[in-house]
Amino acid sequence: MDKIGIEESIRALSVLRTEGMYLDDFFLTWDKTADEIQAVFAVAEILRGMRTNNISARLFDSGLAISLFRDKSTRTRFSFAGACNLLGLEVQDFEEGKSQVAHGETVRETANMVSFMADVIGIRDDMYVGKGHTYMEEVSAAVKQGFLDGVLEQRPTLVNLQCDIDHPTQSMSDALHLINHFGGTEKLKGKKIAMTWAYSPSYGKPLSVPQGVVGLMTRFGMDVVLAHPKGYGIMPEVEEVARLNAERYGGSFTKTHSMEDAFSGADIVYPKSWAPFEAMGKRTLLYGNGDHAGIDALEKELLSENGRHKEWECTEDMMKKTREGNALYLHCLPADISGVSCDRGEVSAPVFDRFRDSLYKEAGYKPYIIGAMIFVSKVKSPAEKLMQLLWKETPRII
């Protein structure tokens, strides 16, 4: 995309209604309107275009972005850092170990104390079903109140970097990859995407990826198939979101217990391990009660159950069942690759290798998606500001 292309994209963006996102959080994609979702894609592509053309996208001359990760992370941590840096924000990690949270502070107080200079807060809290999203809502409510009370001079907006319900920065990156791959959002209409469970020798992988994918892809008129062995169901509330989306946007949402059925004629496949929703609920309770014997027993049970479904693997044979044997393979990475990162896993090495570049590009949208989410939450008129930055033409590298 050259400068003229960027200008055109900004003009297209200017007709989308984004006021609802101004000074608001990004928790779940299904909280957002169609315009808002499109605006995030548009801003992401504009930011990417500006960077490719060596035009600085610094919205901020100074400002902090607080990151709070409750789980290990490479991709998301660096994507958040990259996005914030691109816009001129400095990331300050809030590590509970280093801080006084252990000393009994309430979330409300801590949230305000770390936010005096914070424009953005990014949180990843995906470990326990029923906890992550709730925690984010508490933090959001705390800083919103702090802003209203005059404690904070700005309203720090939250970006959900993965919770127990949704993983919007992932699903939006996946979607933007599809949009660019197929040549536009409208081209996704009628495409079949198979979000399917796959075998992994580990257990307890978060549900937010399949949930995020079925909750978002059903908005583009796609035929979304959710496939998993019996007992590996996702959150019922999210299935309901997917059903309603399919109705409203003219696609479909179906479920199957056969990976073959899901792959059959698919344009896109997303084979990925996850833990059963109900088991994760149990685990949260066991952790809450400090029942270590119970946790160990559950882990054994789940691993043994996983082991019964080793045939749920994305092999070249499986890929042949897709539309003209030519489906696009998606994954949030890292994948469990058979014979590479484990004996037997989610995907065979030849399939993974064939899509490596594509997978890396899919991941590469994340910094821009996060940057776009921040951008639309911090300025009233994103199009106007982007045009200003474009015309200013400050080089990123002199």
Looking only at residues 322 through 351 of this chain, which bind a copy of itself when binding is defined by CB under 8 A?
A: 333-334, 336, 340-342
Verify binding: residue 360, a copy of itself, rule CB under 8 A: yes
Verify binding: residue 117, a copy of itself, rule CB under 8 A: yes
What gap in Å lies between CA 48 and CA 362, rounded to an integer? 13
For 7, 180, 191, 249, the CA distances from 186, given in Å and listed in that order, are 21, 11, 10, 12
Q: What does DSSP assign to residue 327?
A: P
Verify binding: residue 379, a copy of itself, rule CB under 8 A: yes
* 1 vs 244 by CB, closer to a copy of itself: 1
Q: Is omega for the bond preceding 271 within 30 degrees of 0, making it cis?
A: no
* 64 vs 259 by CB, closer to a copy of itself: 64
Q: Which stretch binds a copy of itself (CB under 8 A): 30-38, 58-66, 187-195, 229-237?
A: 58-66
**From the CB of 168, what's the least distance to a copy of itself, in Å?**
18
Verify binding: residue 140, a copy of itself, rule CB under 8 A: no
Q: Which of 4, 102, 184, 325 binds a copy of itself (CB under 8 A)?
A: 102
Size of the site for a copy of itself (CB under 8 A): 79
Contact 48, 9 (CB under 8 A): no
3-state secondary structure of 97: coil
Contact 326, 220 (CB under 8 A): no
* 74 vs 293 by CB, closer to a copy of itself: 74
* End-to-end CA gap in the chain: 20
For 55, 58, 291, the CA distances from 267, given in Å and listed in that order, are 36, 38, 44
Name the nearest CA neighbour of 217 among 256, 265, 254.
254
Find tokens 């801080």 and name the residue: 99
Site for a copy of itself in 18-57 (CB under 8 A): 48, 51-52, 56-57
Site for a copy of itself in 271-310 (CB under 8 A): none
DSSP secondary structure letters along 241-268 = HHHHHHHHHT-EEEEES-HHHHHTT-SE
* 83 vs 262 by CB, closer to a copy of itself: 83
Site for a copy of itself in 82-101 (CB under 8 A): 82-83, 85-88, 90-92, 94, 98-101
- Token pair for residue 157? 């907006």
Verify binding: residue 183, a copy of itself, rule CB under 8 A: no
Verify binding: residue 3, a copy of itself, rule CB under 8 A: no
Q: Which stretch binds a copy of itself (CB under 8 A): 15-23, 150-158, 265-273, 321-329?
A: 150-158
Residues contacting 72, CB < 8 A, separation 6+: none
Verify binding: residue 62, a copy of itself, rule CB under 8 A: yes
CA atoms within 13 A on the CB side of 317: 5
**From the CB of 391, what's the least distance to a copy of itself, in Å?**
12
Distance of CA 199 to the CA centre of its chain: 21
Verify binding: residue 112, a copy of itself, rule CB under 8 A: yes
Q: Which of 74, 230, 324, 325 binds a copy of itself (CB under 8 A)?
A: 74
Q: Which of 150, 184, 290, 325 binds a copy of itself (CB under 8 A)?
A: 150
* 32 vs 177 by CB, closer to a copy of itself: 177
Residue 331: enclosing H or E segment and its boundaries?
Answer: none
What gap in Å lies between CA 325 and CA 93, rounded to an integer? 45
**From the CB of 51, what's the least distance to a copy of itself, in Å?**
6
**From the CB of 358, what's the least distance to a copy of itself, in Å?**
9
- Token pair for residue 363? 């991941």
Q: Which of 78, 240, 289, 320 binds a copy of itself (CB under 8 A)?
A: 78
